Structure 1
Amino acid sequence: MNSETVKTIVLCVLIAISLYLSFKLWSYQPSYSEVIPEEIIPEVDIDGIEKTKQQLIQPRKIIFHDDGKFYALKDPKEQEKLYNEMISWEISDFAFGPKEEETEGKKLLEVIFPNPLNMQLVTNFFDFQNQDLDFPTWSFQRMQILQNEEDNLLTVEFPSIDGRNVAVGTFQNLNYMKLVENYFSREDFNEYILYPDEDLQIYLPKDQVSLPRITTRYTTIRPDKLIQVLFSDPSVVNQSSSSNLGQLFFTDNSQLRVYQDGSKMEYVSPVAEEMTWMTANDLLNFSLDHVNDHKGWTDDYSLLDIKESQNRIIYQLNYNGYPVFSSRDLTTLEQKWNNQRLIEYHRPLFRLSDPLDETTVDLPASLEVINYVQNLPNDFADDILDIQIGYRLSYESDERIIVLSPSWFANVGGNMVEVNQNEADYLKGGD
């Protein structure tokens, strides 16, 4: 067989292959359900809202110091308004150093947060005018703003928790000074007193406080929406249910539990690798983005605590400016992360509706509460870290209502305890 014959045969074979492939290409009908990548997850909305860091990092109380007396605005909404004004201010001449003496001044604003915050978080709620700052890792819980009338400016201080360090800066805009002066001249204040152990710096309203007891309906968040949020491929999620555990949705490495009464959910996705510790800023950023992605702020939540040693972040439910507590962990939204991956997510599955009924409740005066807790057995008062007014949440699934009852609460060694005249019932465990 000569070379020309071989070339002819090879050419014919190539032409035949080309015709066959062209035919297959022309006649191919793709299955469009197969070409949609599994990683593309539809946007999920659980009917809440998105929030910013400034909206989440809120103080528990703002105390006005005026010639040795203490005051706070009567309306929590007015306190929120003042704080939102303050966090738009620019800080100048910011510096860190050892704390040499106690802050003194005739007029002083003290902003108190629910728990210690890492100093690096300050960048989320103040403008530092492009200052190149290397923030320390120590924590603060209070921010103090003093009037410097000689220089027409305000000085701001962040004392460290251990009292050894302080961060100091100035607000140099004259309008800031005038705003603070206007607040000090207002009449809508309640006077406060200090708890007898002054080292704790617990401020309590001097006069009796009356708040409404709220009965409200609620709507529930559908579990199938959370399945889309938490599982990369919802089609492979298995389901089971029992009277004890409620509904379980699970894959080989993740599980979502919805309680039988639909009140809350617990998601866990354990990891085999070692924990990679995240900074407070990283935990806040990842958590905020994740909850915003499914519009998960279904009620008024604010930052309660960031536990960097556990990669855990916790948000607290509030109502009308007061924290809400529950013996069943129905009032906190909590996440745990590892290496930028969500491994735990606990949250309520209800959304508060408009009130059905309100009844005014007169709470015991603070002096009565102080006397009560100091006379409890087992050195109860020795472990008190804080005392505050809040709401106790009662979830009544049979009637599909929630009752919010105002009461006094004490932080006793990290545990939130309702203080009443008959007994002290532990509501929420600490670390």
Structure 2
Amino acid sequence: MKLETVKSFILIVLIGISIILSYTLWSYQPNSNQTIGGEIADNEMNAGGRDDLKKRELIKPSDIIFHMEQDHYGFSDARDRDSLFAEMQNWIISDFEMYSDVSVSIERSPQAIELIFPEEIPLEVLDSIFTFSLNDDDMEPSGSMERVMISFIADSKSLQLEFISPEMDQLAVALVNDAKTYEYMVEKIADLQKSELTEYLVINEDINPVYFPAGKMDLQKYSITPTEINPSLFVNILFTNPSVVRETRSQTIGQTYFTDNRQMNVYQDGMRMEYISHVTPTTDGFNRISEEGLLDQSIANINSHSGWTQAERLNQEYRLEEIDSDSNKVSFQMYYHGYPVFNNLGLDTIEQVWGVNQNNLQLIEYNRPLFKFDNQFFPRTVDDFQSGEFILSYLESNEDISMEDIQDVTIGYELKYQRDDEASEYIEMVPAWYKKENNIWQKLYITDEKIPRGGN
């Protein structure tokens, strides 16, 4: 074969290969299901939870206290407290009035009911939590409240509601003018020997009263199997363009998904995530967000991707725990059987931080669990759970504790994540006592040397 013929044949082959490659490139359509770390992220914007929660479902009191002059009572079962509050939310409230003069004297009945919330609640959201009459549609409340005191007005068979701020620097009052509601609550507070109510102890009564149950509570600990949420779902939710997201994996650090200005870390064997946007918020006068605006934005955002991964059938849910307008942070605490859940690794809260960039609200941080409760099994009664009297004696006798600094005392569930191997993981929910100081919850560790004599 002549050399020219060979060259011509080779040239024809190369031209053919070039045409095939060009056609392949021209006809290629990027797959919308991006592969991240060997897994398919299908662009689904759904974390598998609820997408319809409202403020009235997320804002609930941490306690409802029945006052009988010097004695105080609360619910033996926290779920009964939640049921009563759900009834209260349907009361028709009227005659709402704000008083600019806080020296105005509001008379209270000797018997009263107090609602205590875990966080200051903006008065602007009252009509989202409670039901107001049409005549109060034009009310313009301002400020915040942390407690609601309900008094009995016998003459008119009505209930008086005081919305009390933490600093006692403002006053708002309203009425429930319904005789049936009045009689129902009178009957409830008159029979305090019912099994659903138990006596409560109180500390700091004159400055910032803190109530907690007396006696021994009948509590159980539970084992729960979790279902993990694929973190690639949140890659789709939190990153504008998932196709450019890069991933690294480390046995010590965990998984990291990142772009030039956003990063999402996955910790605790895939059970928790932390997201941060490195876009710097503007520092002009528009950077501060109102508490109501923060709350609305956070709830809407989590609803938008079905992020309320709670299991109502297992009595597990999330509730508002904190609104901090100084840092633009909103936190929602996990609750189980009506009690708050605590975990020092961050498996107990959904937390968001917002900023303003070019006059638009932008999510700066988002930290949350990456699991859902699946099945509950092996409930076991806790026989050695300390009584309220024991806890009171412990607090008073402990030199390291200043009683005046205690903001709250409660029973909660400690969430313990257990992983025996890759095929066996479960969660233990163990009841424990907690105290709150400097806005921080701490478990009460009862050591032998600090046990008060005669305590149980």
TM-score, normalising length from structure 2?
A: 0.80
What letter matches 2:364 in structure 1?
I
Aligned to 2:299, what secondary structure does the other structure show? helix
What letter matches 1:266 in structure 2?
E
Kindly state the Cα deviation for residue 33 of structure 1 after the two structures are TM-superposed.
5.5
Equivalent residue, structure 2, for 1:254 = 262
Deviations 1:357-410 (A, max 9, x none): 121114211121122122223444342211111011111133401111111100
2:350 aligned with 1:333: yes
Equivalent residue, structure 2, for 1:122 = 126
What letter matches 1:403 in structure 2?
E
Equivalent residue, structure 2, for 1:236 = 244
CA contact (8 A) 2:281 2:355 kept: no
Equivalent residue, structure 2, for 1:149 = 154
In structure 2, stretches of 5+ residues that fail to align are 1-25, 33-41, 311-316, 450-456
Separation in structure 2 between the aligned mates of residue 220 and residue 333 of structure 1, nearest angstrom: 16
- Of the structure 1 ranges 319-328 and 119-128, higher mean CA displacement relative to structure 2 is found in 119-128
What letter matches 2:337 in structure 1?
N
Aligned to 1:397, what secondary structure does the other structure show? strand
Separation in structure 1 between the aligned mates of residue 380 and residue 150 of structure 2, nearest angstrom: 38
Separation in structure 1 between the aligned mates of residue 345 and residue 55 of structure 2, nearest angstrom: 27
Equivalent residue, structure 2, for 1:21 = none
Kindly state the Cα deviation for residue 45 of structure 1 after the two structures are TM-superposed.
2.0
Equivalent residue, structure 1, for 2:114 = 110
Aligned to 1:400, what secondary structure does the other structure show? strand
CA contact (8 A) 1:322 1:391 kept: yes
2:156 aligned with 1:134: no
Separation in structure 1 between the aligned mates of residue 157 and residue 436 of structure 2, nearest angstrom: 39
Aligned to 2:308, what secondary structure does the other structure show? coil
What letter matches 1:80 in structure 2?
D
Change (3 A) 1:197 1:134: closer
CA contact (8 A) 1:331 1:348 kept: yes
Change (3 A) 1:203 1:102: farther
Equivalent residue, structure 1, for 2:169 = 164
1:219-230 matched pairs, under 5 angstroms: 219-230=227-238
Aligned to 1:309, what secondary structure does the other structure show? coil
Separation in structure 2 between the aligned mates of residue 230 and residue 255 of structure 1, nearest angstrom: 9
1:158-237 matched pairs, under 5 angstroms: 158-186=163-191, 187=194, 188-195=196-203, 197-237=205-245
Aligned to 1:420, what secondary structure does the other structure show? coil
Kindly state the Cα deviation for residue 175 of structure 1 after the two structures are TM-superposed.
3.0
2:76 aligned with 1:74: yes
Kindly state the Cα deviation for residue 103 of structure 1 after the two structures are TM-superposed.
5.3
Separation in structure 2 between the aligned mates of residue 81 and residue 411 of structure 1, nearest angstrom: 25
2:332 pairs, out of 293, 312, 315, with 315
In structure 1, stretches of 5+ residues that fail to align are 1-29, 425-431
What letter matches 2:446 in structure 1?
Q
Equivalent residue, structure 2, for 1:99 = 102
Equivalent residue, structure 2, for 1:348 = 369
2:435 aligned with 1:410: yes
- Of the structure 1 ranges 78-87 and 216-225, higher mean CA displacement relative to structure 2 is found in 78-87
Kindly state the Cα deviation for residue 255 of structure 1 after the two structures are TM-superposed.
0.6
Aligned to 2:207, what secondary structure does the other structure show? helix
CA contact (8 A) 1:247 1:260 kept: no
Separation in structure 2 between the aligned mates of residue 107 and residue 32 of structure 1, nearest angstrom: 76
Equivalent residue, structure 2, for 1:90 = 92
**% same residue:** 30
CA contact (8 A) 2:109 2:153 kept: no
Deviations 1:86-117 (A, max 9, x none): 11223211111133347531221100001222
Equivalent residue, structure 2, for 1:367 = 389
Separation in structure 2 between the aligned mates of residue 215 and residue 260 of structure 1, nearest angstrom: 18
Change (3 A) 1:43 1:123: farther
Kindly state the Cα deviation for residue 251 of structure 1 after the two structures are TM-superposed.
1.0
TM-score, normalising length from structure 1?
A: 0.85
Kindly state the Cα deviation for residue 155 of structure 1 after the two structures are TM-superposed.
0.8
Query: How large is the Cα RMSD of the aligned pairs?
Result: 2.4
2:319 aligned with 1:298: no
2:42 aligned with 1:45: no
2:409 pairs, out of 352, 377, 387, with 387
What letter matches 2:447 in structure 1?
N
What letter matches 2:293 in structure 1?
D
2:291 pairs, out of 246, 258, 280, with 280
CA contact (8 A) 1:244 1:260 kept: no
